[in-house]
Structure 1
Amino acid sequence: MPSYAIGDIQGCYAELRRLLDQLAFDPEHDRIWLVGDLVNRGPQSLEVLRFVRSLGEAAIVVLGNHDLHLLAVAAGNTKHSKKSTLDAVLEAPDRDDLLHWLRHQPLLHHDPTLALTMVHAGLPPQWDLDQARRCAGELESVLRSDDYRTFLREMYGNRPSLWSAELSGMERLRFITNCLTRLRYCEPDGGLALKEKGLLGSQSPGRLPWFQMPGRRTRGDRIVFGHWSTLGYWSGENVWAIDSGCLWGGTLSALTLDQDPMRVIQLDCPGALTPGEA
């Protein structure tokens, strides 16, 4: 069964369909893993959601920060909503069905047969894979519960920045959310440096990409992630970064998960936005 992981789409529906055509993707027999950020900033978020949902079990999705942002805006949290391009989704006749489907997607996917794990952004160095799966499950349970709106109203913020097993309530959920959907760099003490977003080598002294942190407990696990368009396609340290900036005029990347070694297939993208515009 051919399986591919595809980088951040962010509403770039035409590019997604062109890449799938290039892969000769057949939903009857093939599988795609999508690393999150299906929506926002690009021109066709509604079409992306409808299409991916229509694929059923042929598509495995993990939620990204822009997907959570859509859910938050729909739940009445308008913080940062001026930077959104989500009106088509919010005004669609099938919005409730689409949002219900999105809210029930996981934050982490692990395939023991392929020995691969997918998250949108990253994992803190203190977590092993079992801990990461448990924490993702905690957040998934809240998003799928009747009280999900309370979480979505309070999820924004950079604190707490350091993991402790004693964290509870909204602080614990916010930390989990920030790891799985926003993380790029860590502080020397293993805390989250969420304001650091740039190219490798441009970060403040002492800060390292999450996947290069000394003592990272998932170093022996193979992880696929997106979120970091300035990093582009990158492999090493037992991780594969596949957000190659389609939205910004880069490429849309697909990684062949069922091949050894895995290889990347890329589609050139015209770009819906210019870097620095948003």
Structure 2
Amino acid sequence: MATYVIGDLQGCFEPLQRLLQHINFSEKHDSLWFCGDLIARGPHSLECLNFIYNLGDKAQVVLGNHDLHFIACYYGVSEVKSKDKLDQLLQAKNLDQLVYWLRHQPLIHLCEYRNAMMVHAGIAPDCLLADALVLSQEVQLQLQQNPLYLLQNMYGNKPARLVDAKNQEQRWRYIINACTRMRFCSPSGALELKHKGHPNNHPDLIPWYEFKREKKLPQLFFGHWAALNGYSPIKDIHALDTGCVWGNALTAYCIESQTRYSVAATEQ
């Protein structure tokens, strides 16, 4: 039995199939974890969602910013962007079923017996893991029971610190931003959501994973930050977005063997 954690798919179904062949994935014996952003920008978002949905309990998913934005578009809270290539998905016969399934996926997955966790973007430095789990569970419950209200309050860059959240809606927005959009923080630990790119290009900002914490996080897997190209200098924090949708590679990490596997975005 093996557990493979896979970086951002973003609708790249064909590379996913080659990656699964490369690792000799067995649906009977193995499990797949997906770091979020299952859809958008790539050509086959519907195929990606259907495949993962049909894996049942062999797949574990966390939501990324593109996944949440798609749900918001479904509810009319936001507009579909043509560059996201979601027309086929939005016209799917099983659209309602897929959205319902996505709404029941978490922001954070913690597997205590493996001492491992997965999140799309990261865990903010000013937020204890226990607090992040509580807040993420609140968001998941709202997404299941009252999605329209949550989505209407989801967008925006503030608050940048958890301590500055004045109500539950701001706390939800903070944890969504931290878990699905964060890359950099200011030296004070406040979320800095405007900048992308490689850390070398932003010396005045600090990658979220470089902050010292009162309590060490479990082994953590994240996607979202393609500019890192799978590199993180911190032990037991694994960056897995290697920019497949941008023509680079799709990457998986086997938790049990501590081995990385990658395939090119296009078949050689």
In structure 1, the residue matched to 2:261 is 265
Corresponding residue number in structure 2 for 1:169: 168
**Residue 225 of structure 2: SS of its match in structure 1?**
coil
| 8 Å CA contact retained: 2:231, 2:239 | yes
The CA distance in 2 between the partners of 1:134 and 1:99, in whole Å, is 23
Aligned equivalents of 1:266 and 1:128: distance in 2?
32
How far does residue 82 in structure 1 lie from its aligned partner after superposition?
Answer: 4.3
2:219 is aligned to 222
Deviations 1:178-205 (A, max 9, x none): 0000000001111001011111211152
Are the aligned partners of 1:127 and 1:218 in contact in 2 as well (CA < 8 Å)? no
Superposition pairs of residues 187-226 of structure 1, within 5 angstroms: 187-205=186-204, 207-213=205-211, 215-217=212-214, 219-226=216-223
CA RMSD after TM alignment: 1.6
Mapped to 2, the partners of 1:169 and 1:123 lie a distance apart of: 19
1:107-164 deviations in whole A, cap 9, x for unaligned? 111111211010000111122221221111111111011x211211231111111111
Which residue in 1 is equivalent to 2:30?
30
Shift in alpha-carbon separation, 1:48–1:32, aligned structure 2, 3 A = same
Alignment-mate amino acid for residue 143 of structure 1: L
Q: Name which of 231, 236, 251 aligns with 1:234.
A: 231
Q: Distance in 2 between matches of 1:39 and 1:88?
A: 11
Look up the SS of the partner of 2:134 in the other structure.
helix
| C-alpha distance in structure 2 between counterparts of 1:49 and 1:166, whole Å | 34
How many correspondences in the alignment? 266
Aligned-pair distance for 1:78?
2.6
CA distance in 1, matches of 2:81, 2:215: 35
156-165 or 59-68, which deviates more: 156-165
Percent identical: 39
Q: Which residue of the other structure, out of 243, 249, 252, is the alignment partner of 1:251?
A: 249
Preserved CA contact (<8 Å) 2:70 2:80: no
- AA in 2 matched with 1:25: F
Q: Distance in 1 between matches of 2:254 and 2:27?
A: 15
Structure 2 gap ranges (5+): none
Correspondences of 1:1-278 after superposition (within 5 Å)? 1-79=1-79, 81-145=81-145, 147-164=146-163, 167-205=166-204, 207-213=205-211, 215-217=212-214, 219-237=216-234, 238-259=236-257, 262-270=258-266
Conserved in 2, the CA contact under 8 Å of 1:38 and 1:45? yes
The letter of the residue matching 2:78 is T
Which residue identity does 1:103 align to in structure 2?
A: R
Secondary structure at the residue paired with 1:113?
Answer: helix
Read off the aligned partner of 1:154 and give its amino acid letter: N
SS of the counterpart of 2:5?
Answer: strand
Distance 1:110 1:165, change over 3 A: farther
4-13 or 22-31, which moves further after superposition?
Answer: 22-31
Structure 1, unaligned stretches of length 5 or more? 272-278
